Homo-oligomer: A and B are copies of this chain.
Amino acid sequence: MARSSAWLSLSLSFLVLFNGCFGRRQSFHGQESQNEKCQLSQIHAIRPTGNIPAEGGTTEFWDPNHEQFQCGGAYAFRHIIQPNGLFLPSYTSAPLVAYVLQGSGEYGIIVPGCAETYQQSEKGSEILDKYQKIRYYEKGDIIVIPASAVHWFYNQNREPTILVVLQRANPVSFFLAGKPGSSHQGQREQGRQQQELMTERLGYDGNILAGFDVQIVKDALNTDRETAEKIIGGNARGRGHIVIVQQLPSRPEQRRQPGRQGGGSSNALEETLCTATFTQNIDNRERADIYDSRAGRLTTLNSFTLPALSFVRLSAARGFLNKNWGLVPQWSMNAHSFLYVTKGSALIQIVNQRGDTILNEQVQEGQLFLVPQNFAVVKQAGDEGFEWVEFSTNENAMYNTFSGRRSTLAGMPADIIAASYDLSKSQAQNLKDNMSSLWFYQASGSSPSSSSSSGRSAFI
């Protein structure tokens, strides 16, 4: 039952993908403009190549000139926000998706035109503060932030927050406060140069209000000169884009109700940005789309399950593979995917159209690599198992498998398979009949077995 409804929703989603505006356009856009940048002779899983330190944390970046990011049309970052660290309010020219690798805290997205519906009065005081909804994040959350929308993060807890972020290409950040700049903590000469270039390129050294005359800021904000000078960053130099804030009072928590943890509304038209959910947890075992008690599980998040993803034309997935289990060979039909290893290791093979193995290595925790659109990929967990988060450049990424019960091979007549691979008809039929698994396979050496999968998924 669960299985058949999964396939129903899958073919529906495939349909919508092809009929919908974005899937289609995205798909072509990707192909037309990025094909030339995707003639990669090899890919390697890599760690961040530099960082931009600040008083209250640091932003690690992968070199955006690396050909993986050129091909994928996206950049990756890892923000580390220390306890009491405030990632200053900013907006970016490109939308982003973040995965909370560690920690928890609060954040805000200011949506123009939405009312300040939350209010707070300080104890024993007449002061009443009204503001837009404050949101909360915790480990395992995917956070979606549309382009040009002001946002901030505050880590009011004891553990550092780590965000793994994928952002469409050429992002520029516009900070509304501070004089971010870098604090050059313990960088070697070469690293410092790259750091300065990236700081400048990304806009991490600017406060856009700093470019206005202080008199204009004073007049426009109807405030006094001292405040205006602070706003344009007078005494913020050297603290960087994440500052330590000791005095922030703990807010009476306006926690998300469990019922609003996403997945509820699949009607993007009914969802208004003012009340939209920008966060959803994908670590939770119960949310898995594909679950096999022996092999592992997969959880996908797309614009059907988190409508805000359609604002950013990105999607995300989370995977867990147990020791010696693999995911059957597959390819993405409409998206480039970036995989970040959160735990364990795996043997990854990626093959291009010529049959060249352009990645063939044991990837490790903390590494990131690209699986280009249309390229074939296989993942096989190492001895400690394999856990990863995956970002795709389409809000409804679609996968096609080579083998498995619902695969391409399963859909072909046995005589065409026989003719294609120079097999006898009965060999071909056997091949089809033995593909009992949907998604997982067991590496030999371990006892062979068919895995049973269930659930709803965009992996087909």
Contact = CB atoms under 8 A, between A and B. Distances in A.
A432 interface: yes
A31 B94 contact: yes
A14 interface: yes
A423 interface: yes
Contact of A148 (B168, B206, B331, B435): B331
Interface string A419-460: 111110111011110111100011110001010000000001
Contact of A110 (B408, B419, B435): B408
A147 interface: yes
A304 interface: no
A43 B416 CA distance: 42
Given A86-B419, A434-B223, A413 B328 contact: no
Interface stretch (A114-122, A284-292, A294-302, A362-370): A114-122
**Mostly helix, strand, loop or mixed at chain A's interface?**
mixed
Given A352-B206, A410-B116, A416-B86, A222 B378 contact: no
Given A112-B460, A273-B18, A415-B249, A211 B357 contact: yes
Contacts of A122: 425
B328 A220 contact: yes
Interface string A341-372: 00000000111111111100000000000000
B177 A216 contact: no
Number of copies: 3
A44 interface: no
Most buried by B among A28, A115, A373: A28
A421 B310 contact: no
Contact of A353 (B203, B326, B437): B203
A369 to B, nearest CB: 16
Give chain A's interface residue range (CB within 8 Å of chain B).
35 or more
Contacts of A355: 179, 205-211, 233
Contacts of A170: 31-32, 35-36
A85 to B, nearest CB: 10
Interface stretch (A182-190, A258-266, A381-389, A396-404): A396-404
Interface in A161-216: 168-170, 172-179, 200, 203, 205-213, 215-216
Nearest to A243: B419
Contact of A134 (B169, B373, B413): B413
B349 A230 contact: no
B329 A220 contact: yes
B411 A378 contact: no
Interface in A211-235: 211-213, 215-223, 227, 230-231, 233, 235
28 contacts: A7-B115, A11-B114, A11-B273, A28-B313, A35-B170, A93-B374, A112-B399, A129-B414, A131-B412, A148-B334, A148-B400, A150-B412, A152-B412, A154-B416, A205-B354, A206-B355, A208-B331, A208-B353, A209-B355, A216-B378, A220-B402, A221-B403, A222-B403, A222-B435, A222-B437, A223-B430, A227-B423, A245-B419
Given A210-B351, A211-B376, A222-B403, 14 more contacts: A14-B111, A31-B168, A32-B168, A129-B414, A134-B413, A148-B374, A203-B353, A207-B355, A208-B331, A208-B352, A211-B351, A222-B435, A222-B436, A247-B418
| A-B CB proximity, top 4 nearest | A211-B351, A203-B353, A11-B113, A210-B355
